[in-house]
Structure 1
Amino acid sequence: MKPSEIVNYDLRDYQINLIQDIYQQWKEGNTRVLAQLPTGAGKTICFAAIAREFACRSEKVIILAHREELVLQAADKLRKITEQDVGIIKAKYRPNYSLSVQVASVQSLVRRASVIEKVGLVIIDEAHHSTAKTYRQILERYPDAYQLGVTATPIRLDGVGFRDLFDELVCGLTIKELIKQKYLSRFRLYADPNPMSTKGVRMAQGDYSVKGLEKANNILHLSGQLIESYLEYAQGKRCLVFAININHSQMIAARYKEVGIPAFHLDGKTPDQERREAIEKFRKGEFLVLTNCQLFDEGLDIPGLEAVQIAKPTKSLTKWLQMVGRVLRPSEGKQCAVILDHTKNWAIHGLPNRERIWTLDGVEEKEKVQSSRKKNGEVVEEEILIAESETVLAEIDESIDEGQKIELNNSDETEKYWSKIYENLLYEQRANEYNKGWVYYRLKELNPPLFIWQAYGRLRGYHTKWATYRFQEQSSQSSPSSQPQLEFSPSELAKIFDIILSEFSPFTRVLMRSHTKLLTFNDDTAIIGARNSTILSLIRNKKAEIESVFKSVFNNEIKVHFTVEDSVLDE
């Protein structure tokens, strides 16, 4: 199967490459392919070009979408690229099932069991939603069809990937590369010095509870902060606001109107016609601020959008990237997009152009970087360097200037190992706004070497002798060999872990083989790395079982620690 005359569709080079990669996977027998491309880079154009190829061979194509805006936008672009009429399967729209290309609302198609047969290709728009039962019911109807999922963020809310749903993942250019080539807009992100609180807010379905967020924050005071930051950084620009609930969104719109800034609120209950009219007025600039609740995290295609305001804390990287991605589409006269973050999302997830490696198992960061807020509110990121320096460790400071690096003076693997642990503890402390004493108690649990205590002493401004005293106290309370010894190579650690895994129950064995690895092992200590916080919670609950297996295999008490990536957390 080969794409014919793709270049005639005015596709960009990276879009052509992505399409060719998709066809190559199908050719190799991987019929379920997931394609990743950042928001604003043209995912719809790519799958429309592929749909045209199937339609030209008289093969039926179904595009699945979960909201009306996505259904209509996909249908519009498909008509332009396929140069033929496109059917819409959705309540209140008259269907024409004879057409080769159909864009279907998932909720509508799942209730219409046999309206379309012999489908050649099923495309899943915003495929990170495809775990829902309704999607699976539809896909099971077409077992012989090729499947193509498209998304900017190929992970679930908890960070786990889609290996259970797709055979292969193909990725296009990154946000950083697309900005460099001017296919996405440059941006500046400004962080509120007094961000929304998440203290005491419980989790619900993998993210912060909406009721908890509303209770933890003074919405009236917050709406005033939003207006102040808009006037300072984005005055006169078209701005999309993300709110935590309908009441919050309505209040923000009302406060904007009170100060003479034209604003409008939309949510999922707004009548369709009113919603379409409001979006069109916003496109034309008839009002400057559009507030919403869970409506435009995805699907809003307004290249002229100049700013977004984030008043919605989230633990989800997917939600964060989808929200900020709304403003990155380039347009004439738009020199730099503005992102106004009134949450701690920037500290938790990083800037949108941070280099990330997407896999079917989840996402990894390409390089270790540090986010920091400058005195003017702008957020910048610097790579954490391991380099020769007279300074052992530098404090992570919110006032750090752009270009200043965190430098480590490390000459062997053990020092590098401990330096990474310390840097990640500082990052977690800042991201969660913990007291600096939290770092002290984490270090007490880990028994680090002297130079780490010296770095912490400088962080707190203690006397130079404090670190020596603390280290001597630690040494007297622990065994002589309290430092992890990096004496096994990664391949040797993998073999040791295989021996351990063979002793576990089937469920635990499958879970740990797929989502964990043994990072460090010596006579009395083992450190196991988890892929993300969800997996970490699961294996923490099995700590007793894991330590029992280690004792059984090695006939020795082994203390097991758990980590996420390279940062050691609580046991």
Structure 2
Amino acid sequence: MTYQLHPYQTNLVNKTRQSLATGHKAVLIVSPAGSGKSVVIAEIARMATEKGGHVMFMVHRRELVEQIMQTFIADDINLQHCTIMTVGKIIHRMERLPKPTLIITDESHHALAKTYQKIYEHYPDVARVGFTATPWRMSGKGFTSVYDDMIVGPEVQWLIENHYLADYTYYAPTLIDSDKLKRSSTGDYTQASMNDAIKEPKIFGDVLAHYKRLTEGRQAIVYAHSVEASMQVAEMFKAAGISAAHADAKTPQRERDSIMRDFKAGKIRILCNVDLISEGFNVPDVGVIIMLRPTASLVLYIQQAMRGMRYEPGKHAIIIDHVGNVMRFGPPRMPRADQWTLYDRKKKKRSGTPGPAIKTCPKCFAIVPAATTVCKLCGYVWETAETEDLEVDKTVKLGKLEESRFMVADYQKTHWAQKEPREAKNYTELRKIANARGYKPGWAYFQAKNLGLLKTK
């Protein structure tokens, strides 16, 4: 029994066939994480094999190979007409493998790597179709050396509104010192700087507290910045009586497979990992993502943040971002189609990644658009004078988003950020609250005057 595609998936398939029929040799399909691209891959493979062709499917991880094989079997595809392997295996077997009539590459943002290039060069006359949620390289390098056409699927917000992706609430209780993060030659943050920014032991206790407060009882995937940190988080959850496990790329294969089976069966509630469960990892029942891995990579951010958004009726995902990634890239539902291109991008020179035009609600600490006058989360109303005194970053627009779609709950870790103005004993304490929340000194003066805390002669 073959899959019944959703209309937007059928549209992607038809546009791809049309593109190849009109002379393009290599087409890149862009569709958001969790939008069911494996089903689209299977449909294209089924059509090719039914016409007598041979499909070569390649990807960089063994888990993804096993996953697509199950999808092909479920779609009644004859595997005798398919080569399904990792790029590492294909590169050593090209002389012995059947020549394909179509090459399908998953996670095609990796396609500029030398291994992929050698395979493409070995089959110069074979049509190619690639899939990715994020056609983006940190180097700014484009994909014109691999693909000559690009087809972009629907935006994340449309998929949410039409019940193809789960909606979510995004919390950003940032627990690290982002000023300590430094980039490496590859563009992402160095391991040393991440260690430096996330070195406080208290952080892990806060992770547990936020999980209990916001999502207790639900399964969660934790993305840590190092193996040591991932293990520490797993042990912390277990010490609190919550079943947890750690896995990374060096975990023995048999042990890793056992952990994945137990997690999918619900025997493990918290799965901690280091950049392992990002691309193509399919756990439909998991709706909680805990981010402890700061990144300067849009690709990695999207893959990890959206990993809990696969649709199920009644599902509402929770994303808890402890490392400020949302302030670098914006929320998952942010429109991005106009950013995707096959061509090189000009790298912008800037110190850090500027954030959105925002301010913090003094009552619930939700981060809201700068123009907000009433907090949609708690109902707090800004007074005119108070609004004028807020420290607001107006350097970047995240796209035309309704305020209700943009909200990010930001529960500050600092002692003073959590205090109400009426709890302050004097003007000095009001200044500490203002500093913790990022307000200008004028806010503290305004509050002190209203509370009668200003000294008078």
TM-score range, shorter chain: 0.7 to 0.9
Q: What secondary structure does 2:394 align onto?
A: helix
1:98-247 pair list within 5 angstroms: 99-199=80-180, 201-218=182-199, 220-247=201-228
Instruction: Give the TM-score of the pair, scaled to structure 2.
Output: 0.77
The alignment status of 1:341 with 2:312, answered yes or no, reads no
What does residue 424 of structure 1 align with?
A: 395
C-alpha distance in 2 between matches for 1:329 and 1:200: 31
Distance 1:145 1:202, change over 3 A: closer
How many angstroms does 1:27 deviate by? 1.4
Match of 2:287 among 290, 303, 306: 306
Give the Cα–Cα distance (whole angstroms) in 1 for the partners of residues 367 and 331 of structure 2: 8
Distance change in 2, residues 1:134/1:103 (3 Å): same
Question: Out of 70, 73, 77, which is 2:71 matched to?
Answer: 77
Q: In structure 2, how many angstroms separate the alpha carbons of the residues matched to 1:288 and 1:227?
A: 13
Structure with higher RCO (Cα < 8 A, 6+ apart): 2
Q: Cα deviation per residue 1:174-214 (whole Å; 9 max; x = unaligned)?
A: 11000000110010010114445342534241100012211
Query: Is the contact made by 2:87 and 2:116 (CA closer than 8 Å) also made in structure 1?
Result: yes
Partner of 2:40: 46
Equivalent residue number for residue 360 of structure 1: 342
Q: Tell me the equivalent position of 2:414.
A: none
Partner of 1:9: 3
Q: 1:18 to 1:44 in 2, by over 3 A?
A: same
Q: Does 1:64 align with 2:58?
A: yes
- Asked if the contact 1:347/1:371 (under 8 Å) is kept, the reply is no
Q: Summarize the Cα distance change of 1:426–1:156 in structure 2 as closer, same or farther, 3 Å threshold.
A: closer
Q: Partners of 1:166 and 1:41 in 2: how far apart?
A: 22
3-state DSSP of counterpart to 2:231: helix
Q: Which moved more, 1:283-292 or 1:158-167?
A: 158-167
| Aligned residue type for 1:349 | F
Decide whether aligned partners of structure 1 residues 64 and 377 sit closer, same or farther in structure 2, where only a CA change above 3 A counts. Answer: farther
| Native 8 Å contact 2:3 2:39 kept in 1 | no
Query: Is the Cα contact below 8 Å between 1:249 and 1:265 reproduced in 2?
Result: yes
Equivalents in 2 of 1:327, 1:200: separation in Å? 26
Structure 1 residue 155: Cα displacement: 0.8
Offset at residue 109 of structure 1 (A): 1.0
- CA separation of 1:59/1:227 partners in 2, compared to 1, >3 Å: closer, same or farther? same
Q: Name the residue aligned to 2:22.
A: 28
Structure 2 Cα separation of the partners of residues 461 and 311 of structure 1: 34
Q: Tell me the SS of whatever aligns to 2:395.
A: helix
**Which runs of 5 or more residues in structure 2 are unaligned?**
347-354, 381-392, 399-438, 444-457
Q: Relative to structure 2, which stretch is displaced further, 147-156 or 368-377?
A: 368-377
* Distance 1:332-1:250 versus aligned 2 partners, 3 A rule: same
Amino acid at match of 1:70: L
- Report the CA distance shift for 1:194/1:8 in structure 2 as closer, same or farther (over 3 A): closer
Give the CA deviation at 1:354: 0.4
Q: Judge conservation of contact 2:139–2:186 (CA < 8 Å) in 1.
A: no
Offset at residue 216 of structure 1 (A): 2.7
Q: Is the 8 A contact 1:190 1:377 kept in 2?
A: no
Letter in 1 for 2:330: G
Deviation (angstroms), 1:172: 0.9
Distance 1:73 1:109 in 2: 17
> Equivalents in 1 of 2:60, 2:92: separation in Å?
14
Aligned partner letter, 2:123: Y
Q: How far apart, CA to CA, are the structure 2 residues paired with 1:44 and 1:15? A: 10
- TM-score normalized with structure 1 length: 0.62
Please say which structure displays the higher CA radius of gyration.
1
Report how far residue 31 of structure 1 moved.
Answer: 1.0
Q: How does 1:517-536 map to 2 (within 5 A)?
A: none
% identical aligned pairs:
31
Q: Which runs of 4+ in 1 moved over 6 A?
A: none
Name the counterpart of 1:253: 234
Point out the structure with the larger strand share.
1
What's 1:288 paired with? 269
CA–CA separation in structure 2 for the residues paired with 1:372 and 1:57: 58
In the other structure, the counterpart of 1:351 is: 331
Residue in 1 aligned with 2:311? 330
Paired AA for residue 359 in structure 1: T
- Structure 1 unaligned segments of length 5 or more: list them: 1-6, 87-98, 385-393, 405-421, 428-457, 463-571
| Residue correspondence of structure 1 range 269-288 to structure 2 within 5 A | 269-288=250-269
Post-superposition Cα deviations, 1:24-73, rounded to whole Å, max 9, x if no partner, equal 11112111110011111111110110111111122111111101111110
- The answer on whether the counterparts of 1:63 and 1:122 sit within 8 Å (CA) in structure 2 is yes
How far apart in 1 are the matches of 2:440 and 2:216?
39
The C-alpha deviation readout for 1:423-446, integer Å capped at 9, x for no partner, is: 21799xxxxxxxxxxxxxxxxxxx
Give the whole-Å Cα distance in 2 for the aligned partners of 1:371 and 1:149: 37
What residue in structure 1 maps to residue 384 of structure 2? none
Preserved CA contact (<8 Å) 1:155 1:362:
no
Shift of 1:165: 2.1
- Structure 2 contact 356–397 (Cα < 8 Å) conserved: no
Instruction: Provide the C-alpha distance between the structure 2 equivalents of 1:242 and 1:147, rounded to a whole number of angstroms.
Output: 33
User: When the two structures are aligned, how many residues end up with a matched partner?
Assistant: 383
**What residue number does 1:555 align with?**
none
Change (3 A) 1:371 1:234: farther
2:193 maps to a residue whose letter is: G
After superposition, give the CA deviation of every residue in 1:441-485 in whole Å (9 maximum; x if it has no partner): xxxxxxxxxxxxxxxxx96749xxxxxxxxxxxxxxxxxxxxxxx
Indicate if the aligned counterparts of 1:192 and 1:377 stay in contact, CA closer than 8 A: no
Shift of 1:122: 0.4
Rounded Cα–Cα distance in structure 1 between residues aligned with 2:23 and 2:243: 54
1:8 positional shift: 6.2
